[in-house]
Amino acid sequence: EKAEIGLIGLGTMGAALASNIADNGFRVAVWNRTTEVTRKFHADSDEEDLAEQIVPTESLEDLVAAVAEPRAIILMVPAGDPVDQQIAALRPLLGPDDMIIDAGNANFHDTNRRARDAGDLPYLGIGVSGGEEGARFGPSIMGGGKREYWDRVAHILRAIAADHQGEACATWMGEEGAGHFVKAVHNGIEYADMQMIAEVYGMMRDGLGMDAAAIGDIFGRWNDGVLQSYLIEISGKVAKAVDPESGQPMLEVIVDAAGQKGTGRWTAIEAQHLAAPIPAIEAAVVARNLSSRRDERAAGEALFGPAPERIAKDLPMEMLEGALIAGKILCYAQGFAMISAASKQFGWDLPLPEIAKVWRAGCIIRSTMLDDMAWALGEDPNRNLMFAGYFADHLKTHHRALRRVVSLAARNGIAMPALASGLAYFDTMRTARGTANMIQGQRDFFGAHGFERFDGRSGQHGPWGRG
């Protein structure tokens, strides 16, 4: 009996996805460059009673032969060149109706190109979020490519996806790289959300002198409120975990230098191309880059001394929680506004409410707030979320907390780049008369660029008498 789908690449995510497919009653043929990996995966799958649903193959030809026509074969190989190489090796073995599905974290520009290069040959790029556990038990899936290709495999993708109150978290976003684009913004939001949580952790640790377990308790408590989310939940667990070897909190053992595979950076770069303001996400990317400069930071501390005063005793936990609520809303508002800008720029019709819905379960940024975001975007997909009733109310209540926390951090020498940029975004967006008149004056002064006047006339120059 032939398999309904094939999968290439049995790394952590590929293996989990293959098991998930099998677990949902589909026969899946698998292949990995190293045959040993394929054999071990198949042998191990016996423990989960999945071995019968999984067809291990030892060559690409065997894989192709094992899958029923018209074929669908998922690639789960590292993003970048490996995907192009795999496509080049696989395509000649496939028929004109056979489909390749890239389920890795591809740069959406690459997916655009691959979809175009494929011409009439079916190609899909799908963003898959949820880490290993999500891939195994129900990820959030953002699809991109021709709608008819998506429809051909949607029954499998919906079956393996996370479920949110009876709705599968697997949605078609649009043509070509639309799915991978939405996944990239997801990751940008992920970076900013993680960074804001880390900043609040920093305030508790350095400003309030709290120990890791106490910080874990606070995150645990917040997870019962407005901030309920996967990232808050795991942050609490990370803070409470103890190193079995040293008996110290894990957070005292883990080096303070964050890695990144690049998806957050792509989002920041793309936002600049789109002139879409996502300062909280950019700040989070910058913070990761700075985090890895440990020697320089140590030299900086030796040169400038530690932070001025490290006491923020009078800061109530509700204030920190409020700051995080406001920061989180602003970061998501930026992310969705960027999606809206891209939708227009690329001629995609990205379904914003559906995007909020597909993120409600399975993915890393899943949270209760996304329910309300889905609702608010349903009312008006192009309105910045900070202006939507529920979120505007939260901001009216909590922007003072954000202001207090950010200013206290500044006074205590605690860096809060993402929360501070969230606050600056908020203040910019609620200031009807800004300061770009000065910029325009400067531009006209040195470059005769002209400016618009409040009396409506344009093409004017100032009486600078340059020289």
Tell which positions 95-134 bind ligand 6PG, by CB under 6 A: 105, 129-131
Burial 296-327 (b: 16+ CB within 10 A, else e): eeeeeeeeeeeeeeeebeebeeebbbbbbbbb
Q: Of 93, 228, 233, 260, which one interacts with ligand 6PG (CB under 6 A)?
A: 260
Site size for ligand 6PG (CB under 6 A): 13
Minimum Å gap between C-beta 257 and ligand 6PG is: 12
Least Cα distance to 39 among 55, 21, 60, 22 occurs for: 55
Of residues 135 and 215, the one with the C-beta less far from ligand 6PG: 135
Of residues 3 and 365, the one with the C-beta less far from ligand 6PG: 365
Q: How far is CA 403 from CA 103, 118, 453, in A?
A: 41, 51, 33
Site string for ligand 6PG, 341-380 (x = CB under 6 A): ----------------------xx----------------
Q: Which stretch binds ligand 6PG (CB under 6 A): 106-114, 259-267, 314-322, 441-449?
A: 259-267
Length of the chain counted residue by residue: 467
Q: Which stretch binds ligand 6PG (CB under 6 A): 197-205, 216-224, 260-268, 448-456?
A: 260-268
Of residues 130 and 144, the one with the C-beta less far from ligand 6PG: 130
Matching residue, tokens 């006339």: 457
The two three-digit tokens of residue 15, written as one number = 């293996």
Minimum Å gap between C-beta 285 and ligand 6PG is: 10
Tell which positions 161-200 bind ligand 6PG, by CB under 6 A: 187, 190
Q: Which stretch binds ligand 6PG (CB under 6 A): 163-171, 212-220, 257-265, 299-307?
A: 257-265
Of residues 13 and 326, the one with the C-beta less far from ligand 6PG: 13
Of residues 128 and 414, the one with the C-beta less far from ligand 6PG: 128
Cα separation, 22 vs 168, in Å, equals 17
Minimum Å gap between C-beta 130 and ligand 6PG is: 5
Contact 114, 84 (CB under 8 A): yes
Of residues 20 and 53, the one with the C-beta less far from ligand 6PG: 20
99 contact partners, CB below 8 Å, separation of at least 6: 70, 71, 72, 73, 121, 122, 123, 124, 149, 152, 153
Least Cα distance to 281 among 334, 354, 317, 329 occurs for: 334
Q: Between β-strands 170-174 and 123-129, what pairing exists: parallel, antiparallel or unpaired? A: unpaired
Tell which positions 308-327 bind ligand 6PG, by CB under 6 A: none
Q: Please, which residues bridge with residue 75 across strands? A: 8, 102
User: In terms of C-beta density within 10 A (0-12 exposed, 13-18 middle, 19 or more buried), how is residue 390 classed?
Assistant: middle
**Among residues 183, 240, 328, 357, which one is catalytic?**
183
Kindly state whether residue 229 participates in binding ligand 6PG, applying the rule CB under 6 A.
no
Closest-by-Cβ residue to ligand 6PG is 129
Cα separation, 76 vs 196, in Å, equals 31
Minimum Å gap between C-beta 324 and ligand 6PG is: 20
Of residues 190 and 282, the one with the C-beta less far from ligand 6PG: 190
**Active-site annotation holds for 183:** yes
Cα separation, 293 vs 273, in Å, equals 27
The two three-digit tokens of residue 335, written as one number = 């992310």
**Among residues 190, 270, 282, 321, which one is catalytic?**
190
- Greatest distance between any 2 Cα atoms in the chain: 85
Least Cα distance to 183 among 331, 58, 23, 364 occurs for: 364
Minimum Å gap between C-beta 187 and ligand 6PG is: 5
Residues classed as catalytic = 183, 190
Residues of this chain that bind ligand 6PG (CB under 6 A): 105, 129-131, 187, 190, 259-261, 263-264, 363-364
